[in-house]
Amino acid sequence: MLLGLFDRLWTPTALYFILALPLCALRHVANNTIAYAALGAWTAYYAQNIVTAVLCERKIDALGGRAPTILASQFQDYGKGPQFRIEWKDFLGLSIFTTDGERWHQSRQLLRPQFIKDRVSDLHTFEKHTQILIRLLAGSHDGETVRADDLFYRFTLDAATDFLLGKSVDSLENGQTEFAQAFADVQNVQSLIARLGPIRALIPKGKFRAGLKVINRFVGNYIDRALQLSPEELEKITKSDEGYTFLHALASYTRDRDVLRDQLVAVLLAGRDTTAVTLSWLFYELSRHPQVVQELRQEIFSFVGPEQQPTYDDLKSMRYLQHTLNEILRLYPVVPYNVRQALRDTTLPRGGGPNGDEPIGIPKDTAIGYSTLVLQGRPDIYPSRGSGFPDHLAFVPERWDAWTPKSWTYIPFNGGPRICIGQRKFQSFPAWHQLHIM
């Protein structure tokens, strides 16, 4: 019996899952990266749902286009779940990203109004930090190599803290400040906590706890100052551009210190990382496509010239600029892989039965993974190559001139009730930065 078991294990497929896949996963966990190529190969081989178990924790990867079910039509059945809250509670608390039900709805109602306002002062914040970034990207000597991705992460941290708190941590100018280092340390350990299943308890957490103390102290100082203001003073500030911060706006709705801390850290995490990643991919592709750079420059100069500062309306009106960002988000969605948990015994519409085309039962507490990267990389959701449509894996902003994705085939900001509330701000930030670099 044991010999038969070893015979079955000693096959290429078994060895891939036993040795190669875990080693690849550990390498990407250590480097805080994601295996883009592996995700693509995975979905090309498996058309339906993949059931996996990591040390007895069961998870289904719904790679066959189940996002509409999970995010919209059966939204009440799937959520972040209690396990996610346990894993992230120390870092993000009970914020919009960790809660479900009424608590999540209250968080969304609190935050959403702050993301739909186009304030001139926000553009001034972008401008200030963009000028520092441009100088650093140029390097101190001709031909000097710079780490653009590192600069983008420091840049977005500076702009995000400035927007949220009214004061930047100035990591571009001062290198890895205490706050920037603490934030990085916490993120690195948190990524392990979220990925290593039941063995997460074995992860050393010294740097994690020390980093959290720095983050909480830093953010807490600003919260204390905001709460010293009367409701009337806060209302006056939030009605004008002068002195406005995201924190002031939140404090005018709630005086709960824990709520303010959790929401600020959550928005800081989302706003910093997603924008930095998008800028990194954007300039990677622009460096490989000089004709796109030339087209962008022509459009930018036709709208605002070399000296004029763009407005929000200018950014929205530049079609080629917007198409370039859409193309980056199509190829490199900001959150390429996500997980929901079944909040009750439920189903997915396909994956069951002998042919995989019948509903499949999903027990309560089952984790369901889905990938926007895999979804948006499927060839079957695009027009055929014979129609003249560009290769779906190629970076071609012009494809957006006469093409609109079908529903639920382009969801870089997710979809359904939990669609990203910050997408307007997110789209403005890279566009502003891209415009100035050009």
User: What is the phi-psi region of residue 81: left when phi exceeds 0, alpha when psi lies from -120 to 50, beta otherwise?
Assistant: left
Instruction: Retrieve residue 151's tokens.
Output: 């600069």
CA–CA gap between residue 172 and residue 197 (Å, rounded) = 35
CA–CA gap between residue 271 and residue 119 (Å, rounded) = 17
User: Phi then psi for 284, rounded to 5 degrees?
Assistant: -65, -50
DSSP assignment, residue 172?
Answer: H
Instruction: Retrieve residue 332's tokens.
Output: 């490199």
Binding site feature residues: 420
CA–CA gap between residue 316 and residue 311 (Å, rounded) = 9
84: Cα within 13 Å, side-chain hemisphere = 23
Show the beta-strand stretches assigned E in 280-420.
338-342, 346-352, 358-362, 367-370
Binding site feature residues for heme: 420
CB 132 within 8 A of CB 173: yes
CA–CA gap between residue 18 and residue 9 (Å, rounded) = 9
